[in-house]
Amino acid sequence: MQRLSFVITFLPLAAAALLACIEASVHEYNGEKFAAQGNAFVFHGGSEGIYSSAPGLNESSPADSFIRFEKVVFRRPSEFSNFSSGSVHVIVFEVDDRETIGGSAYGGQRAVCCSADLAKLGVCKQGEIIHRPSTNNPGWPQVFGASFDADKTETTLYPRSIQITKTGMYNLYFIHCDPQLKDAVVVNGKTVWKNPTGYLPGRMAPLMKFYLFMSLAFVVLGFFWFSQYARFWREVLPLQNSITLVITLGMLEMALWYYDYAEFNETGIRPTGITVWAVTFGSVKRTVSRLIILIVSMGYGVVRPTLGGLTSKVLLLGGTFFVATEVLELIENVGAVSDQSGKARLFFVLPVAILDAFFIIWIFTSLSSTLNKLQARRMTAKLDIYRKFTNALAVAVILSVGWICYELNFKSNDVYNEQWQKAWIIPAFWQVLSFSVLCIICALWAPSQNSTRYAYSSEDVGEEFDKDDTLTLIKPSSKNVRTPELRLAESNDLLLSDVNLDQEEKTA
């Protein structure tokens, strides 16, 4: 037999399922259709990481882990109701047992439904699901179902709960093998997936504590910043007002994410409105943060009073980045329940990655120009702060590139989501890195009695940076400057003195 994976066979269906509008860990099925995959017709019912139940607990215990089937009904059109059919199967398996599903005859293509050739070999019954008992997890995979009687358009699955006694990534599929029904069968009802600590899927569960920690971290940063802001409010610069906005957005974002996960964990219903607000605040924060770093790199408010003709370009880049980020985050988070990542997300990641790269190139190009100008004008205080700022950004970019490489390696080697318990670290890293850069900016530009020392002043440079960011290194001395009006006046004085001299000679 070929060692092809059941999960790979149904990966396109799993990805498509993530795009469906599922609003809770209580997976609801509203007339979902089966799709042809190989010799079977399949509907993906969900994938979640579940921790095992504590010893001695039963299904009614609040600290129990289970998958419960409630009011699951299969329906077929009336024109297909004149015959009885085989079972519509439900199969639940842990990812480590994926090779126990399916088989092939004489080394042919791997199949899920028992074919005539396999039935002749005596390894299965034709029309049934091919599966073997797990050697590592007794009693698994779980396979059961319900059959259509003649002249009946629907059949109901008997309610049941499956106790989870082993921590793992669990997959649920509804499958039927009757070619007469093809894709005419639909499923209605719901399944409830629960971890010992609540309804959060296993991959999401650590993020609730993480966002609580980040909320507290933003509170500490906000206390430091706002106390300095209140003490030296007369010395506050426009740049520091923008930093205040970013801190406020960050506090709101972290609080909303924590509330979103806490509500989801408690009720099993994900609060879609809260999720949308959390995504929106996060997108605005990321956009404003990048714009602040960009305009600071250009020297705005520190070595130049305006951005000149670059204002519209900066705003256009920021607006485009916000839209791309908002769309990506909405698709990734709103309605997301299963712990399986969809490949469709890649299409929306690319625009954000390209815009981020454009930001980085523009930021470091502007920083290089600004540092050269500060060094040429010998503004040592501002030059020192910009060098520290540049070093911090360089370290952040190096860490970002390294983490992207790690993330790509992580996902490429985790095709079956076996490392779901570590997956929460990936989004958490980006939040920590963003927060660290914000802390550095706050430390460099904290409000103080010397804040105006770092503000733009025409006395520091003698003249403003022009629109092309060019710099005149030698300033003409005022005593050597002779305007046309001054030269004309001098000529008139000289002529008048000559006339007076001629008159005096004649008189003499």
Model confidence pLDDT, tens digit, residues 74-92: 999 988 887 777 789 999 9
pLDDT of residue 436: 96
C-alpha to C-alpha distance for 124 and 200, rounded to whole angstroms? 37
- Residue 366: HSE in the Cβ half-sphere, 13 Å Cα cutoff: 23
Where exactly are the structural domains of the chain? 6-194, 205-461
pLDDT of 243-284, one tens digit each?
999 999 999 999 999 999 999 999 888 888 999 999 999 999
Per-residue pLDDT band at 309 (split at 50, 70, 90): confident
Query: Is 143 in a helix, a strand, or coil?
Result: strand
Residues in a beta bridge with 29:
189
From residue 101, alpha-carbon distances to 19, 173, 385, 411, 415 in Å are 26, 12, 62, 24, 17
* pLDDT above 90 as % of the chain: 43
Mean pLDDT over 417-431 rounds to 92
Per-residue model confidence (pLDDT) at position 171 = 94
| Residue 403 pLDDT | 94
Asked if CATH classification 1.20.1070 holds for the domain at 205-461, the reply, yes or no, is yes
User: Hey, what are 427's tokens?
Assistant: 């989004």
Give the contacts of 164 (CB within 8 A, at least 6 positions apart): 50, 51, 52, 53, 65, 66, 67, 170
Across 154-161, average pLDDT: 91
Interatomic CA distance for residues 287 and 329, integer angstroms: 13
